[in-house]
Amino acid sequence: MTSIDLFLHFLWPVSCPVCGKLASVLCRSCSDELVRDNPLRCLVCGEDIPCHLHGHSYPSVSGAVHSGMARELVLSMKYHGVSGMGRIMGRSLGSAIAMPFPQNRIVPIPLHRGSTRRYNQSRWLAMGISDVWGVVLSDHLKWRTSEKQSELGAEARRSMPKNSILWRGPDLKGQSCTLVDDVRTTGTTLLRGAEALYEAGAENVLSITWSRSINANERGDLSWS
């Protein structure tokens, strides 16, 4: 521990939740160790891409399983006000996950209307990916409903109606987009977001989340890690 580290900790009393390093909300090396370049799977059915039903339409990937320290980081980012660690986590995702096709835009899942959170954790993750990939961030998705998905059960999430999320940005004709969220549970939120991007003219949509619930694919694929 250097004198500079101690001085910074005095000014900014935080420490990395993984290794305990002072004056760091999260060490980049600690974040990197939690992320893997997992295979692309279909957001709808969980099969390898291309899947026999949806082809290349809904590729998705998560950096980690939503358990242990990977889960703790999400909770700190969302509920303990440590928004800055989201950008570090996003950089880890951007470094670990290879782009399956050239990208034009990185698009975060929007914060729900009426949310009391002062920031969108998905946008912080998207900013981190944008830093690494050098792709513009476009925050133009909007919710039509005010229901908070975190308060809904799995069945209610899966029955989310089409057009629950809308694109309110420029025409996406021929463009490729990466959709970003913090945790994939049933995948329905990401699916509705991807549908909105395709409706706006996108040619390809990749979905990335920091973590995936251990029961994220209720269609039976629990080996995806």
pLDDT means over runs of 10, the chain (225 residues): 50 79 91 95 92 94 96 92 92 95 96 84 97 97 72 58 93 97 94 97 97 65 34
Burial (Cβ within 10 Å: 0-12, 13-18, ≥19) of residue 146? exposed
Other beta carbons less than 10 A from residue 187's beta carbon: 28
165 forms bridges with which residues in the sheet? Answer: 143
Question: What pLDDT score does 9 carry?
Answer: 46
Question: What pLDDT score does 147 carry?
Answer: 59
Question: What pLDDT score does 221 carry?
Answer: 38
Question: Beta 176-184 vs 204-212: how paired, if at all?
Answer: parallel
Question: What pLDDT score does 114 carry?
Answer: 75
Question: What pLDDT score does 22 carry?
Answer: 83
Question: What pLDDT score does 164 carry?
Answer: 93
Q: CA neighbours within 13 Å on the CB side: how many for 67?
A: 6
Decide if 85 contacts 26 (C-beta within 8 A): yes
The predicted model scores a pTM of 0.86
Fold of 37-212: Rossmann fold (3.40.50)
Query: What span, in angstroms and rounded, lies between the C-alpha atoms of 181 and 92?
Result: 14
With helix as H, strand as E and coil as C, how does the chain read? CCHHHHHHHHHCCCECCCCCCECCCCCHHHHHHCCCCCCCEECCCCCECCECCCECCCEEEEEEECCHHHHHHHHHHHHCCCCHHHHHHHHHHHHHCCCCCCCCEEEECCCCCCCCCCCCHHHHHHHHHHHHHCCEECCCEEECCCCCHHHCCHHHHHCCCCCCEEECCCCCCCCEEEEEEEEECCCHHHHHHHHHHHHCCCCEEEEEEEEECCCCCCCCCCCCC
* Domain boundaries for CATH 3.40.50 within the chain: 37-212
Question: What pLDDT score does 82 carry?
Answer: 86
Residue type, 211: S
Burial (Cβ within 10 Å: 0-12, 13-18, ≥19) of residue 225? exposed
